[in-house]
Amino acid sequence: MAKSPERHGHPRAAPRRLLARVRDVMAGAGAAQERLDRITEIIAADMVAEVCSVYVRRPGEVLELFATQGLNPDAVHRTRLKFGEGLIGEIAAQARPFALADAQEHPNFAYRPETGEEIYHSLMGVPVLRGGRVTGVIAVQNRTRRHYTEEEVETLQTVAMVLAELIAGGELLKAGDRVADDDIPLTALTLEGLKLNGGLGMGRAVLHQPHFVIDKLVAEDPAAERRRLEEAFTGMHGALDDMLGAEALEDGGEHRDVLESYRMIAEDAGWTARIEEAIDGGLTAEAAVQKVQEDIRARMSHVADPYLRERVFDFDDLAGRLLRHLLGGGARLDDKEIPENAILIARAMGPAELLDYDAARLKGLVLEEGSPTAHVAIIARALQIPVVGHARNATDRIEEGEQIIVDGDNAQVFVRPGPDIRRAYQVSLLALDEQKARYQALKGKPSETKDGERISLNINAGLMIDLAHLDEYGADGIGLFRTEIPFMTQSDFPDLDAQRQVYARVFEEAAGKPVVFRTLDVGGDKALPYWRNGNEENPALGWRAIRVSLDHPALLERQLRALIEAAQGRPLRIMFPMIAEVAEFNAAREVLDRELARQKKEGQPAPETVDVGAMMEVPGLLFQLPALLKRVDFLSIGSNDLAQFLFASDRANPKLADRYDELSPAFIAVLRQVVGECRQAQVPLSLCGEMAGRPIDAMALVGLGFRSISMATPCIGPVKEMIRSLPLAALEVFLESLSDDNGHSLRGRFEAFALEHGVAV
Ligand code: PEP
Ligand code: MG
């Protein structure tokens, strides 16, 4: 750990005095505005500045003067600057401090007559940062040409850290609304993105910013805080060694690179020195770690180099670990109350993070990244909330609490929509209700093509809410139960009892309809919050799914035992994910057979029947199909992963989201082959990737010979409507004509067929 001997022995006393006074005001009585006024006074006095002003971020990247000591008090709540406008706006736009002896000489100096600031020569300002965003600016000004020292900048930054909490508390902004809100010249904004889930939702923006709650920001004894920091570093290094040593095993290679790059960062002298400096400035060790992290994030958000931006995640990860060591058992993320109708706005998000929110209150999701087969999109589909991805700079352009409409079908996000758009939204919502009623009316009607071929439609489930919808549109069963989803919502690995209860409930809710349970499929973009499997270079190709289960047989045994016990004499269907070779299936099946035998020996009731299947997701398995089909009771194609591996195209990478099409000659050829071989071997076949839920893709599947498919619940209605309008014999003839088309995609041709034959797609 870096040490700076001069500073180590003599922690600075002055900034700590200021900080202690600010803290006392923060903790004291009075409305937020009064406390802010008082803090501004204290800063001005302490820093011997004629002016101290605090600007707070308002909607539309606007900074509003919220308090001032020294400028004209009438300017408070009236003076507003856009990000980038004037020096204050520039500090916000660049998210970094400025210290200028000759502020008026600066090309960005903006003169505001109402503030009377022309007589001040020098200016020092720092951004107020929270959750990687600028939420305000604090500035001090002096009449004379003053050279602010680095230490003074650091002090003001430390105060900003404390002020960030006052702003985040919300009271200040609420009071500000009363003073002046409507006159902020806000224009509506439309963001275009990529459809990740259809539907329409309106509500208030909630910015997703995981943030550790730090109760104690200011400390009296810097030496003690330094000791705590040192202990936390030691603890973190030990834990990193254990984790990387134990899990990636001894054979060197990738895990060593990970270890080394983490080590490099963890021991980065600049990083630790800056944390120590913040401690000397009067912060507790945890507040100091968070402050330095905010600075890094804010600074790096302006860096274009993707490699360097990636490093921010490493810093975030390490800062998070360090904070956990410092906060111990008390470490908790700031789980803010979200409004009844929340539209979640995030850069990127994992499925478990989405599940942390109260689903009943979520009306939409807007992501800056994302792709349709990413698991967060799959979960959002289960929750039936519209999702727009690739919404550029959404987190910067949308403010907490703003009104938002998410139009998933048209991949648009309306920020601060005007009355016309709101009216149009109401009309569309009515149309959607009508459509829903139409789909529900199909519930009792058979899922049959016009020529009488029956197609089994099943749902993909994982949340209890999915089960409630099982009957809504008349699905035949659950074609894929993603067991990892209940795992994601726990704080630790669910034990045998907990798992048995979940599976038993699934059986009960399914009320006799068939359920296919897929064993734990973690890894890739599906992380369990309590289980970190290191930073893999290529997580999609990494230690995932059945690989994890086979490496941890006890985990697999426990899950299979829970499933067998939950079945209670009912038929049990189990499938293993991401099987890459027959030997893997055999190994997994062996564990299952052992569990079944054990159960029998103990005299427990055996399931009525046991069907065991494999998921066809890895292309290598295609070359062992005949052998595999002798071993399995059924096969299910996971087209999301199969497409990802077939085209070598990461399903979670937003840049590749629509690069390759499942309705392409190559993918269709693969599907055709699997259908043919399964038919010959008389092994039931299904497909449970996202394509099954898109009517046009489902049409192609039925034409190719699929008689069972499984999809997100809300897709059942549209797909059933398609099937009931489909002349299958004509489609089969049409499919023959496609065999020599080698274009990028056959989608256009399928659409033309649907149009010509009146198929509802
Ligand atoms: C798939 O890969 O198509 C699939 C259904 O599994 P998951 O999306 O859960 O990876
Ligand atoms: Mg998969």
User: pLDDT above 70 covers what percent of the chain?
Assistant: 88
Ligand 1 pocket check for 616: Cβ under 6 Å: no
**525 close to ligand 1 (CB < 6 Angstrom):** no
Report CA Rg, the chain: 30
Spacing, Cα 689 to ligand 1 middle (Å): 5
Give 699 Cα–ligand 2 centroid separation in angstroms.
21
Residue 7 has pLDDT above 50, yes or no: no
Q: Averaged over 138-162, what is the pLDDT?
A: 91
List the beta bridge partners of residue 403. Answer: 204
Question: Pick the catalytic residue: 52, 77, 390, 688?
Answer: 688
Split at pLDDT 50, 70, 90, the class of 266 is low
* 154 in contact with ligand 1, CB cutoff 6 A: no
DSSP 8-state symbol, 284: -
Q: What's the pLDDT at 350?
A: 78
Q: Could you tell me where in the chain the CATH 1.10.274.10 domains are found?
A: 222-326
The answer for residues whose C-beta is within 8 angstroms of residue 67's C-beta and 6 or more apart is: 33, 36, 37, 39, 40, 53, 54, 76
pLDDT of residue 267: 62
**CA 546 to ligand 1 centroid distance, Å:** 13
204 to each of 188, 406, 417, how far by Cα in Å?
14, 11, 11
Atom of ligand 1 nearest to the CA of 484: 9
Q: What count of residues does the chain have?
A: 761
Q: Tell me if the domain spanning 442-757 has CATH number 3.20.20.60.
A: yes
447-498: pLDDT as tens digits: 999 999 999 999 999 887 788 888 888 899 999 999 998 887 776 788 999 9
> What is the distance in A from the centroid of ligand 1 to the CA of 641?
6
Q: What is the pLDDT of residue 269?
A: 67
CA distances from 626 to 82, 631, 632, 670, 707 (A): 66, 9, 10, 14, 20
Q: 409 exposed, middle or buried (CB, 10 Å; 0-12, 13-18, 19+)?
A: middle
Residue 306: what pLDDT? Answer: 60
CA distance 137 to 127: 4
Closest CA to 559 of 638, 480, 483: 483
* Range 19-37 average pLDDT: 89
The answer to whether the CB of 382 falls within 8 A of the CB of 461 is: yes
pLDDT value at 531 more than 80? no
Of residues 106 and 707, which shows the higher confidence score? 707
Q: What is the number of other CB atoms lying within 10 angstroms of the CB of residue 363?
A: 22
- Tens of pLDDT, residue by residue over 91-146, are 999 888 999 988 878 877 777 777 766 678 899 999 999 877 889 999 999 988 99
Q: For residue 378, give the ligand nearest its CA.
A: 1
Q: What is the DSSP letter of 115?
A: G
Which ligand is nearest to the Cα of residue 642, counting in written order? 1
Q: What is the percent of the chain with per-residue pLDDT over 90, rounded to a whole number? A: 52
Above 60 in pLDDT, residue 1? no
User: Is 198 a pocket residue for ligand 1 (Cβ < 6 Å)?
Assistant: no
Interval between CA 207 and ligand 1 midpoint (Å): 28
Neighbours of 518 (CB within 10 A): 26
Residue 169 has pLDDT above 90, yes or no: no
CA angle 191, 194, 197 (to 5 degrees): 110
Band the pLDDT of 382: cuts 50, 70, 90.
confident
Which 3 state secondary structure label does DSSP give 236? helix
> CB neighbours (10 Å) of residue 360?
10
Coil, strand or helix at 81: strand
Domain at 13-179, CATH class: alpha beta
Range among 301-310, 363-372, 572-581 with highest mean pLDDT value = 572-581
Query: Which pLDDT does position 127 carry in this prediction?
Result: 95
Mean pLDDT of the chain: 87
pLDDT digits (tens, 9 = 90+) for 35-65: 999 999 999 999 999 999 999 998 778 899 9
Q: How large is the average pLDDT for residues 618-639?
A: 98
In this prediction, residue 11 has a pLDDT band, given cuts at 50, 70 and 90, of low
Any ligand 1 atom below 6 A from CB of 662:
no
What pLDDT, on a 0 to 100 scale, did the predictor assign at position 271? 81
Q: Does residue 351 line the site of ligand 1, with CB under 6 A?
A: no
Q: What do you get for the CA distance between the two ends of the chain, in Å?
A: 62
* Cβ(535)–Cβ(258) below 8 Å: yes
**pTM score, two decimals?**
0.66
* Residue nearest ligand 1's atom 4 by CA: 638
Domain with CATH 3.50.30.10 in the chain: 189-211+334-434
* Ligand 1 atom nearest to CA at 375: 8
User: Tell me, what's the pLDDT at 359?
Assistant: 87
The order of strands in the sheet holding 133-142 is: 80-82, 62-69, 51-58, 133-142, 122-130, 98-100
755: confidence class by pLDDT, cuts 50, 70, 90: very high
Q: Is 375 a known active-site residue?
A: yes
- The yes-or-no verdict on residue 10 having pLDDT over 90 is no
* Smallest CA separation from ligand 1 atom 6, residue: 638
Of the residues 375, 390, 469, 715, only one is catalytic, namely 375
| Residues facing 54 on adjacent strands | 67, 138
- CATH entry 1.10.274.10 includes domain 222-326: yes
Lowest mean pLDDT among 174-188, 514-528, 627-641: 174-188
Q: What is the pLDDT of residue 702?
A: 98
CATH topology of domain 189-211+334-434: Glucose Oxidase; domain 1 (3.50.30)
Q: Give burial (CB, 10 Å; 0-12/13-18/19+) of 538.
A: exposed
Q: What is the DSSP letter of 145?
A: -
Q: How confident is the model at residue 6 (pLDDT cuts 50, 70, 90)?
A: very low
Query: Is there an atom of ligand 1 within 6 Å of 521 CB?
Result: yes
The model's pLDDT over 299-352, given as tens digits with 9 standing for 90+, comes to 766 666 666 666 666 677 778 888 888 988 666 666 667 899 999 999 888 787
Please state the rounded mean pLDDT for residues 705-716: 95
- Return the best residue to mutate from 463, 482, 548, 697 for the ligand 1 pocket (most ligand atoms within 8 A of CB): 482
- pLDDT score recorded for residue 244: 56
- DSSP β-ladder status, 412-415 and 403-407: antiparallel
